[in-house]
Amino acid sequence: MTTPRKLIHIDMDAFYASVEQRDFPQYRGVPLAVGGTTAQRGVIAAASYEARAFGVKSAMSTYKALQLCPQLVVVPGRFDAYKQVSAQIKAIFSDYTDLIEPLSLDEAYLEVTENKKHSPSATLIAYEIKQRIVAETGLTASAGVSYNKFLAKVASDFNKPNGLCVIQPHQAQAFIDKLPIGQFYGVGEKTEPKLKALGVYTGADLRQLSPQSLQSIFGRTADFYYHLARGQDDRAVETNWVRKSIGTENTFNQDITDKAQMLQALRPMSEEVLDWMQAHDTFGRTLTLKVKYSDFQQVTRSRTEPKAFRDVEKMMKHLSQLLDLTQANAKPVRLLGVSLSKLGEAERPDEPEPTSWQLSLPLLA
């Protein structure tokens, strides 16, 4: 009989906002958000739990956030501070295992089936890591423990903040059957309505779909969801995996039409992408802007440079130009996204590679 793997997913609680509250005592216990501080044009990047109680959340305009919570304190991000804490947390992980897959500055998968502490219990390891994070950084983290990535990640979000949730193999199917369909990996704003239109609201409903129905919804990933609904996920914790791109996006509570406001929203996203790349010692030469209009039409605009994008001002200059190649000046925008690709490719400073523009065809989202 095969011994189940032991995986932990660690997710820091309200990471950016929690660092600010730790470093500045005046912010503790009050509603706090990290993001654009200009009420008319700012966008929230992260919100403390005190702010979330009023409905404030990431990707929301600062204007809307202040409407929901007039006493909200909004501060600009300090990404150097967040990187420093992230390095501390990774050092803690490394005391237990070398099988670490960072997903961002504030979350990672750890495989502890075999571990440096020779502990038979992944739950005890997760508890000890959480305690050390508090002791060494003054911050809290939530942990999910299970035998595969899907369940570990879902579990880490189950008892936030400062939670610890364990899903044993014999508990998995009952847990999945009750899981809302929107909490399944990769089921987003496009796919969730399609599933609900078919009467699929939970994992139990997903498990009842025929392979043909899954194929019509998920295409090439139909098999993946067939297995997820049955608690099966064989993805490994990859320490040296090659990522093709890194990006982030925000959906706004209210459509925006002003270019300056769009650029204000794109700045923290650009900083987040660059921060991830610096933390992973990589870079990217292709910058892509994603725009979704209020009518749900979606377009992307990309630019490839001979040298990598390494600073936010360079990114912002090109994002401004890319915005001008869309209809954002004429149509309300509900979502913006930023990504960098061609990661890790050798730079060619002496090669006069021409700049190329890639215009994608509109897609209905």
Dig out the tokens for 316 from the structure.
């912002």
> Which two three-digit tokens encode residue 217?
């919804």
Q: Kindly give the pairing relationship between strand 297-309 and strand 44-47.
A: unpaired
The amino acid at 137:
T
Q: Which phi and psi (to 5°) does residue 112 adopt?
A: -125, 25
Contacts of 152 (CB under 8 A, 6+ apart): 7, 8, 9, 109, 144, 145, 146, 167
Catalytic residue among 107, 111, 271, 272: 107
**Distance between CA atoms of 48 and 105, rounded to whole angstroms?**
17
Burial class (CB in 10 A: 0-12, 13-18, 19+), 123: middle
Helix (H, G, I), strand (E, B) or coil at 132: helix
The sign of the CA dihedral 230, 114, 108, 130 is positive
271 is catalytic: no
Reference 99, options 235, 300, 302; nearest CA is: 235
Alpha-carbon distance of 153 to 236, in angstroms, equals: 13
| Residue of 247, 325, 254, 351 lying closest to 294 (CA atoms) | 254
What token pair was written down for 105? 């500055």
Task: Count CB atoms within 10 A of the CB of residue 182.
Answer: 14
Cα angle at 146 between 182 and 151, to 5 degrees? 10
Residue 48, Cα to own-chain centre: how many angstroms? 17
Measure the N-to-C terminal CA separation of the chain; round to a whole number of Å: 45
Catalytic residues: 107
